[in-house]
Amino acid sequence: MAQSCRYSNERVEERILAEEVQVLEQNQAPTDFSLVVLENMVTNLLNTSVAPAPRQYVARSFTEALQASVINNDKAH
């Protein structure tokens, strides 16, 4: 399960995710390419929206949340 955010609006979050998935599916993007696209999106967001000082911390926190999400999802199945 993905990490929740204190700013989350569940309907908006679900709609954005559905739109992102739809673009990848419409372009028949394989999983590895989709992950590269998502990595580039995250990198761009961090580089353009997070000040340099906390950027490493935010990136590390994101990575840890992603890993925890995958681990928790594995345990659920």
Q: What is the pLDDT of residue 21?
A: 93
> What stretches of the chain show up as alpha helix (H) in DSSP?
10-26, 31-49, 52-76
pLDDT in tens for each of the 77 residues of the chain?
455 566 667 788 888 889 999 999 999 999 999 999 999 999 999 999 999 999 999 999 999 999 999 988 777 76
φ/ψ of residue 38, rounded to 5: -65, -40
pTM for this predicted structure: 0.74
